[in-house]
């Protein structure tokens, strides 16, 4: 461990190549890499201090990184640090700031006049309320409704800016004049976070259930930035986190029973877990069973109880 | 340390007396205590584990708490926990959430329709931009200007709500419909924090430089809640943090010189620190010197260099 | 959300019943509950602020808690807080303190004379180095070797205490006299943590790969304390975390292929992932494939490639 | 804010010059810089995003850094990150790890054989227990006693290593064999922390009340590393934190009274604060008054109440 290391900072040429470059998003947002520390090699270096001298040659870097990520040995990933410059609507920033393990410096609308731009929604981008998921969206408004929604948005954003500027002209303090700015107003931020916590952020915000606005930022950060910075960690993250499939105890028991061809046993597990109760028409809706069914679908397995229900419906 | 303690949870009757009570603020805000853990006694109990058995009787509780706070032995204060229910404008919440060491559950405008109320500014409450401090306010707009500002605020808030409700009627997803809500819209939060981090929050947000809106919340939390919950800690906090006076190395050297009646030495210190440079008319403006002058004022000491300047001005 | 709540702190009678009670572990360790805040009901209360008024009746408490834990909606679990008094060998404490999201007050051996007791290992409790896992143990030393190891341990612990006391008698400062105390020396701690972070601690430290000493503490905290405090959360934690089965992308693809009866496809996935390379005798050792094989075992599924290997061995 | 920045990472030649260099401490410890991110310029860059475009030229870097540190605007200092490789006795590491805002990878004695070296105390380095401060030391043991203490230390450390190696030879698992290693055993760590939290660590651990062992590490990190890395921040830290003088409300009132020549008023303040109570012989010992007296000493001010006491003693 005490061997001299070469007296240069670790650099990642693929990331250096995009340092400072603006990746644009939304009507006026962007993400830029300002600085970074570490790389795949730094993860390995930190992990190996745990193993002491003797093991340096025994594991290859990629394999070690994959092992660490698979087994949630998270501390070596904290040894890498990324600093981004973001331009993001305040509405998305309200979600972003909930991740508490980052360092933040934000554009101050106490000190400076608020950024003029607000996020603009084009007529074909108004999403409809999801029916199944109370906090999601699905489908789009038609273009005629969309055009009217966009027209009204422009009207509101214009009035909001007009009122803001009137206040400034009247000498109202910036800290108070801003009080009615719309959440769509852009803010800018320096955001610094370590790789472990960044991957946690990405796992939550690249998820299909994340709101589209922040999901676009997260996806860009993952696919354009992390993939260049720490390619082994990024690959492992996709294989072991993003595209992983978590089975609960109940699900594992059901799958074991189904694998053994014993669907009665599978149904018994579900019944004990209260996931197979009869309703007025066939099975009662049960969210946990739906989740299981989706996982079985991904594993290419049939759900005997669904067939039962289908048969029940077909019966005269 | 291993002595049995009485098998009841520590309770604070003075805080129990206001549990759940709404303290109102602003046009529609409030703070309520939902739950708490610990008390002055818990601070003492935790501190004493460090001291082992023998010292239990040797220090009195109040004195120990004052000692701990004065010397920034912060960990025993982490042993107390407070959970509040807040209703606060999103604009103030944007500042509040920057304190990362708390636990938060916020009202979701993805899941539910946004709270109807927005913070309303009365005609006599429009603050003017401070001239000396780029991020502060001082003085108030006159009533005529104020009335017009309030009228325009109402107009903007009404349009914003109207547009929001149109979107919901058109079936737009709540997560997107909210994008142009004004920052003055109220949100509600469960906010849980330990006493050490709460005192840090209060020190920053009760400060005269904090924005008035959040300062009112912080002051209420301190004076109405912490004062009842942990009265010794609260008293110590006021004596040793809120009303303390921090002198820099330079300031301490200047005061020592002034105390010894050696104003030449005092000025030499200032000069070496670059705080006494001549401008076109008398001394050049220097923020650090202004801070020193304010502290000398509080200590009842005169500034010889100011007299020089006064004389300089009077000179023909 | 603004409905009045009953002005009493939430209490959990099942936990009150063991408040202050010592649960003993190891040769001289213990765990005691000192205080707590919240309960299953507090998790639900915090989650529901996100959902606003309308949904109060729509979900039952147990179901909501299970949903939250299954989907890693972690913030409501932070609303519960537990304070323990621990007596634990310094060696185990060195692992424990790595969990950074807790509050800690530890017995000070700068201030007080070190605790006299050290952890004693009985002759039948010396564990042997695991061969497969470089950081684990398996099996026990035989009694004769064990007796000698225990005798030598006693000799070393006695000398260490003797030297420590000689130093104190010579007037050496406690902060320095302690420098050669064995890691087996007990320390005492007040340890306060929220339920979310406690469950994370338990997931890591109740795991079969955790060191036995800390695993015993973690298991006791889970089974004796959390189970009484928040029974719904504890049950959900067991079903969805402790006994869950995480499948990687590669594993899910292999299982889908096996479920469809297509073992050639399963092997193709493994080959592409570099998990099925030939060695000198049959398949080359591959840790990720071993993990998959264990998971297939739990799911009651056969590994075609293992049969191949078995056949290869039997071939003349 | 959106101006392109030059697409190179900020580098600090003065720190690059010592990258990887071992700074030795104690009998076998060291500190090495492994990597870093940011510099004085990064602090300024982050602070300026708050101020928006217009203010770039208006403040000079050094002045801005000093202003930020003086006013505890801490977030820009979080934008700099340092990674060190440490070799430190476990006893000092037990204090070090209490700082929770750092990232850590430690040498694993579960995985590898423990480091052979333990910290050795030379005969002339045995510190005596302080009488005034229960957790400090003052003065040294004489050489004859010191020689004997060192001889006994060597005896104990040798037996501890012998027993450890016997266990390994008997096949005892490393995770258990280590249980009686002395706290003086060295460990190695990769330790990564941002500049704000590092300065907080240094403020506590460079303090005269910190234990000498960790104080030596902290002082080295400050004087050899931070001073090269961020010289403006380091200078400001010394002027405004390390050598600052914090006056409590009570102390400020006393000094104001003394400055006005009104020692009766000064004594009245002290009396009201319970800091001037009479004991059997003169004034009763009071820690807070002692602290005030030390501060008055630094400010070159006399304590009227001490003179009283002195006179009282001289009286027949």
Given A244, A259, A291, which is nearest C299 (Cβ)?
Answer: A259
Nearest residue in D to B253, CA atom: D299
- B41: helix, strand or coil: helix
Question: In this complex, do A111 and B134 lie within 8 Å of one another by their Cβ atoms?
Answer: yes
Mean pLDDT lowest among C116-125, D124-133, D177-186: D124-133
* Record: contact C184-D180, CB cut-off 8 A: yes
Q: Which chains touch A (3 or more CB pairs under 8 A)?
A: B, C, D
For domain C1-119+186-244, the CATH class is alpha beta
- CA B103/CA B191 separation, integer angstroms: 6
Lowest mean pLDDT among A197-211, B48-62, B147-161, C184-198: B48-62
Active-site position among B48, B66, B87, B205: B205
Q: Pick A141's closest partner by Cβ from B156, B163, B170.
A: B170
Chain A: residue whose CA lies nearest to C209:
A71
Q: Is C301 in contact with A247 (Cβ distance < 8 A)?
A: no
pLDDT of B203 strictly over 90: yes
Give the domain ranges of chain B. Answer: 7-119+185-244, 120-183, 249-309
Determine the distance in angstroms separating the CA of C97 from the nearest CA of chain B, rounded to an integer: 14
Quote the pLDDT of residue D58.
Answer: 44
pLDDT in tens, A263-302: 999 999 999 999 999 888 788 889 999 999 999 999 989 8
Give the pLDDT confidence score for residue B104 in this predicted structure: 97
Query: Can you give the pLDDT at residue A316?
Result: 43
Nearest CB to C7 within list B19, B30, B36: B19
To the nearest 10 degrees (0 to 180), the angle between helices A61-70 and C287-298 is 30
Among the residue ranges A196-205, A211-220, A233-242, B303-312, the one predicted with the least confidence is B303-312
- Chain D positions touching C152 (Cβ under 8 A) are 163, 166
CB burial of B97-112 (b: ≥16 within 10 Å; e: otherwise) equals bebeebbbbbbbbbbb
Indicate yes or no: CB of D105 within 8 angstroms of CB of A79: yes
Inter-chain CB proximity C259 and A301 less than 8 Å: yes
Span D222-236, pLDDT tens digits? 999 999 999 999 999
Task: Please state, for a pLDDT cut of 90, what percent of chain D lies above it.
Answer: 80
Q: Give contacts of D91 with chain C, Cβ < 8 Å.
A: 178-179
pLDDT > 50? residue B89: yes
Q: Chain D residues with CB inside 8 Å of B247's CB?
A: 244-247
In angstroms, what separates the C-alpha of A199 from chain B's closest C-alpha? 19
Task: Inspect the interface and report whether the beta carbons of C112 and B194 lie closer than 8 Å.
Answer: no
Q: What is the 3-state secondary structure (H, E, C) of B3-32?
A: CCCCCCCCCCHHHHCCCCCCEEECCCEEEE
Q: Is the ipTM of this complex over 0.95?
A: no
Nearest CA-CA distance, residue D150 and chain C, Å = 10
As a whole number, the mean pLDDT across chain D is 91
User: How far is Cα A250 from Cα A256, in angstroms, rounded to an integer?
Assistant: 10
Q: Which of C167, B67, B70, C174 is nearest to D134 (CA)?
A: C174
Neighboring chain A residues of C246 at a CB cutoff of 8 Å: 244-247
**DSSP of B61-128:** HHHHHHHHHHTT--GGGGG-EEEEEEEEEHHHHHHHTT-TTSEEEE--TTTSPPPS-B----GGGPEE
Interchain proximity A247–C248, CB inside 8 Å = no
Closest by Cα among D72, D107, D73 to D93: D107
Is B180 in contact with A156 (CB distance < 8 Å)? yes
The residue of chain A nearest to residue B180, with distances taken between CA atoms, is A182
Q: Residue D210 is encoded by which pair of tokens?
A: 């910190």
Confidence of residue D60 (pLDDT cuts 50, 70, 90): confident
Whole-number Å distance between alpha carbons of D34 and D261: 56
DSSP secondary structure string, A175-189? Answer: HHHGGG-BTTBEEEE
Average pLDDT in the A64-89 region?
97
Q: B107: closest CA among B188, B45, B27?
A: B188
Per CB-CB distance under 8 Å, the chain B contacts of C51 are 108, 111-112
pLDDT digits (tens, 9 = 90+) for B262-312: 999 999 999 999 999 988 878 888 999 999 999 999 998 988 887 555 444
Q: How far apart are CA A4 and CA B29, in angstroms?
A: 60
Chain-chain contact of C179 with D178 (C-beta, under 8 angstroms) = no
CB contact under 8 A, C172 and D97: no
Does the domain at B7-119+185-244 match CATH 3.40.605.10? Answer given as no
Classified as helix, coil or strand, A104 is strand
A244: closest CA of chain B, how far (Å): 26
Residue in chain C closest to B17 (alpha carbons) equals C7
Hey, which residues of D are catalytic here? 205
Question: Can you say how many angstroms the Cα of residue B36 is from the centroid of all Cα atoms in its chain?
Answer: 21
Q: Rounded to an integer, what distance in angstroms lies between the CA atom of residue B199 and that of residue B77?
A: 9
10 Å CB burial of residue D272 (0-12, 13-18, 19+) is exposed
- Which of B252, B284, B285, B295 should be substituted to probe chain D, the one whose Cβ sees the most D Cβ atoms within 10 Å? B252
Q: What are the chain D neighbours of A83 within 8 Å (beta carbons)?
A: 37-38, 79
Task: Give the closest of C83, C103, C107 to B52, CB-based.
Answer: C107
Nearest CB among A245, A287, A298 relative to C67 is that of A287
Whether A300 contacts C260, CB under 8 Å? yes
- pTM score, two decimals? 0.94
Nearest Cα residue in chain B from C20:
B7
Separation CA D184–CA D202 (nearest Å) = 22
Cα distance from C126 to chain A (closest Cα, Å)? Answer: 23
Among A39-48, A288-297, B213-222, D53-62, whose mean pLDDT is lowest? Answer: D53-62
Cβ <8 Å between D105 and A76: yes
**DSSP letters for C251-304:** HHHHHHHHHTT-HHHHHHHHHHTT---B-SSSBPP-HHHHHHHHHHHHTT---H
Q: Which of B296, B231, B308, B298 is nearest to B264 (CA)?
A: B308
10-residue stretch averages of pLDDT, chain C, 316 residues long: 57 95 96 96 90 54 94 96 98 97 96 96 96 87 96 98 98 97 98 98 96 98 98 97 96 92 93 90 89 94 72 44
Residue of chain A nearest D18, judged by CA positions: A7
How many alpha carbons lie under 13 Å from residue B56 in its C-beta half-sphere?
9
Mean residue pLDDT across chain A: 91
Q: A193 is written with which tokens?
A: 């976070």
Q: Which chains touch D (3 or more CB pairs under 8 A)?
A: A, B, C
Percent helix, strand, coil in chain D (nearest 5)? 50, 15, 35
């Amino acid at each position: 461990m005490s061997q001299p290391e070469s007296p240069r900072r670790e650099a990642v040429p693929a990331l250096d190549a995009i340092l400072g470059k603006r990746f644009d998003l939304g009507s006026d947002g962007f993400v830029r890499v300002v600085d970074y520390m570490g790389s795949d090699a730094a993860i390995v270096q930190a992990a190996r201090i745990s193993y002491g001298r003797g093991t340096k040659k025994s594991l290859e870097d990629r394999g070690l990184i994959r092992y660490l990520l698979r087994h949630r040995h998270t501390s070596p990933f904290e040894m890498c640090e990324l600093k981004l410059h973001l331009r993001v609507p305040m509405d998305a920033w309200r979600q972003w700031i909930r991740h508490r393990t980052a360092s933040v410096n934000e554009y101050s609308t106490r000190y400076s006049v608020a950024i003029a731009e607000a996020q603009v929604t084009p007529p074909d981008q108004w999403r409809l309320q999801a029916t199944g998921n109370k906090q999601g969206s699905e489908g789009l408004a038609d273009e005629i409704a969309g055009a009217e929604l966009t027209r009204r948005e422009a009207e509101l954003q214009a009035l909001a800016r007009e009122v803001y500027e009137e206040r400034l002209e009247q000498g109202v303090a910036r800290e108070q004049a801003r009080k009615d700015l719309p959440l769509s107003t852009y803010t800018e931020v320096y955001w610094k976070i370590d790789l472990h916590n960044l991957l946690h952020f990405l796992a939550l915000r690249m998820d299909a259930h994340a709101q589209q606005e922040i999901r676009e930022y997260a996806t860009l950060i993952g696919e354009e930035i992390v993939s260049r910075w720490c390619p082994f960690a990024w690959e492992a993250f996709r294989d072991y986190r993003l595209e992983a499939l978590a089975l609960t105890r109940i699900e594992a028991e059901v799958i074991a029973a189904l694998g053994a061809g014993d669907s009665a046993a599978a149904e018994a597990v579900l019944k004990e877990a209260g996931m197979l109760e009869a309703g007025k028409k066939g099975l009662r809706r049960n969210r946990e069973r739906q989740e299981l069914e989706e996982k079985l679908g991904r594993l290419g397995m049939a759900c005997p109880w669904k067939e039962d229900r289908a048969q029940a419906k077909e019966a005269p």
